[in-house]
């Protein structure tokens, strides 16, 4: 069994771009080639743990990923996320690789999913990327989406102005002009691409706040209880999801399923969209991309990092 520590994983992520691997995973999933059971979840008063697992038909491995979120950790000087990934042989069940990423790969593949959505859907004329939230996903998505869109201006809103300023400072170190704003309404009025990255359990973004022709990439709502977008906003949008089955029980779209106001055919999977090619939003419509995080993303990034480490082209 190969063990890859976080320090080596960091080197690999700096040296390689795995966006196409994440894209391929979404396509394989939408072609019906992935087996992804429902997410196992452990909720506690001070945090949560998700266990995701699955494989691709004809592949070499299956993955088991454990990822946690303890959102008060930053006040203790600790990161809010942690975890690991395990690759097993699909032929024998043997453990092939332990990736001691401490949640880094989950953070990375989540941001890459946001970048994939922006690559295929972002408005053609984009001058500002709007980010709601100030944590790891706020920073990683700003950088990843800037890379695929070429947009070098980011606007950030956070509940804590000091955290927002620090987030902007860290993003700006990547040759991106990042600044903060005082309200979500102001942010929505100044951008047509908004990324939501918070663990909020009550809506933050409303229909009347958003301009027509806006792409919203919703990342924070990955459990049944979380919700960043008001139902009125989600109802009027074109809906793109990572997984039709999973979005019925978690994420922004799940709240519409609970109301009985949409059906499975009303949503398009991201993998279906990728196969069709770029579909930038027009000036008249709103698009919501609801990304709840699926195990095929974990499998693709774990295999890619394992392959890079096995080639020893980056790590010692």
pLDDT digits (tens, 9 = 90+) for 111-135: 999 999 999 999 988 999 999 999 9
Residue 236 CB partners (closer than 8 Å, separation 6+): 207, 286
pLDDT on residue 34: 97
What's the chain's average pLDDT?
A: 95
Q: Does position 312 have pLDDT exceeding 80, yes or no?
A: no
Identify which of 96, 116, 51 has the alpha carbon closest to the alpha carbon of residue 269.
Answer: 116
Averaged pLDDT, 294-315: 89
Q: Does position 247 have pLDDT exceeding 80, yes or no?
A: yes
Residue 95 CB partners (closer than 8 Å, separation 6+): 1, 86, 87, 88
pLDDT on residue 250: 93
Give Cα separations from 304 to 18, 48, 213, 286, 288 (angstroms).
7, 27, 35, 34, 29
pLDDT on residue 276: 92
Residue 235 CB partners (closer than 8 Å, separation 6+): 256, 261, 262
- When computed from its CA atoms, the radius of gyration of the chain, rounded to whole angstroms, is 19
Q: Does position 314 have pLDDT exceeding 80, yes or no?
A: no
Q: Does position 148 have pLDDT exceeding 70, yes or no?
A: yes
Q: Does position 212 have pLDDT exceeding 60, yes or no?
A: yes
In percent, the amount of the chain with pLDDT more than 70 equals 98
Averaged pLDDT, 162-170: 96
pLDDT on residue 186: 98
């Amino acid at each position: 069994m190969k063990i890859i520590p976080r320090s080596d994983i960091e080197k690999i992520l700096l040296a390689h771009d795995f966006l196409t691997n994440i894209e391929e995973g979404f396509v394989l999933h939408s072609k019906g080639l992935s087996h992804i059971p429902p997410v196992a979840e452990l909720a506690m008063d001070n945090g949560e743990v998700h266990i995701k697992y699955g494989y691709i038909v004809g592949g070499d491995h299956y993955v088991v990923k454990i990822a946690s979120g303890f959102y008060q950790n930053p006040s203790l000087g600790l990161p809010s996320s942690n975890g690991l990934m395990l690759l097993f042989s699909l032929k024998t069940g043997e453990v092939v690789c332990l990736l001691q990423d401490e949640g880094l790969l989950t953070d990375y593949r989540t941001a890459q999913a946001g970048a994939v959505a922006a690559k295929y859907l972002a408005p053609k004329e984009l001058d500002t990327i709007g980010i709601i939230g100030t944590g790891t996903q706020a920073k990683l998505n700003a950088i990843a989406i800037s890379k695929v869109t070429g947009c070098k201006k980011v606007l950030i809103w956070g509940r804590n102005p000091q955290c927002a300023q620090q987030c902007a400072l860290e993003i700006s170190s990547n040759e991106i002009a990042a600044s903060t704003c005082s309200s979500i309404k102001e942010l929505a009025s100044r951008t047509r691409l908004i990324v939501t990255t918070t663990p909020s359990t009550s809506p933050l973004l409303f229909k009347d706040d958003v301009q027509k022709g806006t792409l919203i990439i919703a990342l924070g709502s990955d459990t049944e209880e979380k919700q960043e977008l008001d139902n009125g906003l989600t109802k009027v949008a074109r809906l793109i999801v990572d997984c039709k089955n999973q979005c019925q029980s978690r994420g922004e779209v799940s709240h519409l399923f609970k109301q009985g106001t949409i059906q499975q055919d009303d949503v398009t999977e991201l993998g279906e969209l990728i196969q069709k090619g770029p579909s930038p939003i027009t000036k008249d419509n709103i698009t919501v991309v609801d990304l709840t995080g699926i195990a095929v993303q974990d499998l693709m990034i774990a295999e890619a990092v394992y392959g890079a480490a096995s080639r020893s082209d980056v790590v010692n």
